[in-house]
Amino acid sequence: GRASRSAPLASKLLLLGTLSGGSIVAYADANEEANKKEEHKKKKVVVLGTGWAGISFLKDLDITSYDVQVVSPQNYFAFTPLLPSVTCGTVEARSIVESVRNITKKKNGEIELWEADCFKIDHVNQKVHCRPVFKDDPEASQEFSLGYDYLIVAVGAQVNTFGTPGVLENCHFLKEVEDAQRIRRGVIDCFEKAILPGLTEEQRRRKLHFVIVGGGPTGVEFAAELHDFIIEDITKIYPSVKELVKITLIQSGDHILNTFDERISSFAEQKFTRDGIDVQTGMRVMSVTDKDITVKVKSSGELVSIPHGLILWSTGVGTRPVISDFMEQVGQGGRRAVATNEWLQVTGCENVYAVGDCASIAQRKILGDIANIFKAADADNSGTLTMEELEGVVDDIIVRYPQVELYLKSKHMRHINDLLADSEGNARKEVDIEAFKLALSEADSQMKTLPATAQVAAQQGAYLAKCFNRMEQCKELPEGPKRFRTGGHHQFRPFQYKHFGQFAPLGGDQAAAELPGDWVSAGKSAQWLWYSVYASKQVSWRTRALVVSDWTRRYIFGRDSSRI
Ligand code: FAD
């Protein structure tokens, strides 16, 4: 980047030099030489991906001492939490995307962006191999490689079909902006087809049966959006078929929103029942065709075939092929996400960092640490703790491992609640340490991984940028920027996730919010909080203005149901 920026200046000097007899040529050469040296000194940083993690790293990175190149198949950043709103036209697709080149504009240099997919990370030779996205243009589709001193892997995750037959061919997914646009067209298509003459009532019913597989936040939010869209806008336009519309939400677990507080998941279930959304829990999808979805009822083993018009598959995330290949190379084959240490460095590759959905911090010592915290609290070695002591212990654990808090609050912890209260719900006076530790150890796998959310990805990107910004300073000042150094075996403090809570919009201008400090709210006030938080979190003033104006437009004119 730097060499090309200095080229016009050098060529002007060369031209001047030629005109004035040649003495400036030497000066121009020296200048270029100096530039080259400076260029040489700069460490090459390659960033893969421009999602939440990649963008928050690039936004906060001081590029004075780095030569930064970015590879991503998207030259834009998409605000994924608003994707469900795009599926029904509550918000327009262009309102939630911002050009990466705009976001990463820097005063002191340039970040280069290549619109390409990285298909291979060669960590031994410190290179990434890439393929431009322009497959139809032979000139613009030639593969290229980039060398790096530091590599930031932030490619996110991909949809996970769990190998279920027919899912890839017959289901919609909601991961990218294009997916949301396709769903929007798909929903309108179902109505346009259902009103055509010559169809039987059964055929019309099938076309208007919308099935959502997965009762996590995305599935629930889409069900809510779709319900609002149909009730508020669509049925006014297609009154002849409004009685035939049905929305079904299929969940394999016992409850929807099971990573949320129990009160929220039961509020959501009750609201959906009132709205006529059919919530089917304890069901596993076995296969999907263009007309039917076959599910197995877990309790009875019975197979049921459900006709459908459109299916959204939203059951969690899987690993991208480039990540699976990289994990094989570094001895992490078979994992879902790249294991890193607490400083986000890939285990075994010091100069490769992994952030966001494609990474997981290996908290190897967590259970050992927890055992030590309990031991310290049990000074009299009685094997039991009073409730007060236990509270202190849990607080200590949460400070060190904030992800445990999420787990403690989720419904999975019912068996821990049984340890804390008797069958009548009265709080016990003491708790047995071993039983409590055993219950926590069952939570081990959940505690090891942070949730795959934008919150985690953005905090990791920002943390890493902070480390990179201080790397030079740390080398020059062995004492280092004190507030950030631990003085221990690593230059920087380990990454600590701070959970700011989570939302679940439930339709009808109601949402559920779970905020730190065990604060749970559901209803219209939570929806207004959702509006303000999501407006404030936009990456630019342009998207903020567009999103707010889309919300206002929807209030005044409703959603647009044209199929374009
Ligand atoms: P991503 O944001 O997915 O970014 C990955 C980037 O890598 C993309 O730019 C992609 O184009 C690029 N890439 C992919 N393959 C390659 C390759 N081979 N080479 C180079 N680049 C590549 N989280 C919340 O916290 N709150 C929410 O409300 C919320 N709502 C959500 C709603 C929906 C519909 C979805 C799908 C997700 C939601 N999430 C939410 C989750 C959140 O979006 C993800 O956790 C987050 O996007 C992860 O960030 P990331 O940077 O790891 O990956």
pLDDT attached to residue 411:
46
Kindly state the DSSP code that residue 140 receives in the 8-state scheme. Answer: G
Rg of the chain over Cα atoms, rounded to whole angstroms, equals: 27
Mean pLDDT to the nearest integer, 544-557:
95
CA distance 240 to 362: 56
pTM score, two decimals?
A: 0.81
Mean pLDDT to the nearest integer, 349-363:
88
Q: Where are the alpha helices (DSSP H) in 138-215?
A: 167-170, 177-194, 201-207
Q: Is 359 in the pocket of ligand 1 (CB under 6 A)?
A: no
Mean pLDDT to the nearest integer, 304-311:
96
Give nearest CA residue, ligand 1 atom 30: 81
Mean pLDDT to the nearest integer, 157-171:
94
* Bridge-based pairing state of the strands 209-213 and 246-251: parallel
- Tell me the HSE value of 458 on the side-chain side, using a 13 A CA sphere: 16
pLDDT attached to residue 66:
93
Q: How confident is the model at residue 117 (pLDDT cuts 50, 70, 90)?
A: very high
Q: Given ligand 1 and candidates 357, 497, 527, which is best to mutate, with the most ligand atoms within 8 Å of its CB?
A: 357
Residue 400 CB neighbour total at 10 angstroms: 14
pLDDT attached to residue 403:
59
Mean pLDDT to the nearest integer, 56-76:
94
Mean pLDDT to the nearest integer, 474-485:
58
Return the percentage of the chain with pLDDT > 90, whole number.
60
Return the percentage of the chain with pLDDT > 70, whole number.
83
Give nearest CA residue, ligand 1 atom 20: 72
Q: What is the pLDDT of residues 75-89, one digit of tens each?
A: 999 999 999 999 999
Question: What is the CA angle 397-398-402, rounded to 5?
Answer: 130
Q: How far is the CA of 553 from the centre of ligand 1 (A)?
A: 27
Mean pLDDT to the nearest integer, 33-37:
55
Q: Which atom of ligand 1 is nearest to the CA of 130?
A: 19
Kindly state the DSSP code that residue 495 receives in the 8-state scheme. Answer: P
3-class secondary structure, 256: coil
Q: Is 174 in the pocket of ligand 1 (CB under 6 A)?
A: yes
CA distance 112 to 118: 15
Q: Is the pLDDT of residue 479 over 60?
A: no
* Residue 129: φ, ψ to 5°: -105, 130
* Bridge-based pairing state of the strands 66-72 and 43-48: parallel
Q: Which two tokens stand for residue 26?
A: 């030497």
pLDDT attached to residue 426:
77
pLDDT averaged over every residue in the chain: 85
Mean pLDDT to the nearest integer, 195-208:
96
Q: What is the pLDDT of residues 205-243, one digit of tens each?
A: 999 999 999 999 999 999 999 999 999 998 889 999 999
Residues 6+ apart with CB under 8 A from 230: 245, 247
CA distance 178 to 160: 17
CA quadruple 78, 514, 269, 230: dihedral sign:
negative
pLDDT attached to residue 235:
86
Report the candidate in 319, 403, 422, 323 with the shortest Cα–Cα distance to residue 361: 403
pLDDT attached to residue 29:
53
Q: Which two tokens stand for residue 416?
A: 């821990």
Q: Is 49 in the pocket of ligand 1 (CB under 6 A)?
A: yes
Mean pLDDT to the nearest integer, 392-410:
69
Q: SS3 letters for 319-349?
A: CCHHHHHHHHHCCCCCCCCEEECCCCEECCC
Q: Which two tokens stand for residue 391?
A: 């509270």
Q: Which atom of ligand 1 is nearest to the CA of 117?
A: 19
Strand partners, 427: 421
pLDDT attached to residue 505:
94
CA distance 352 to 153: 7
Q: How far is the CA of 66 from the centre of ligand 1 (A)?
A: 25
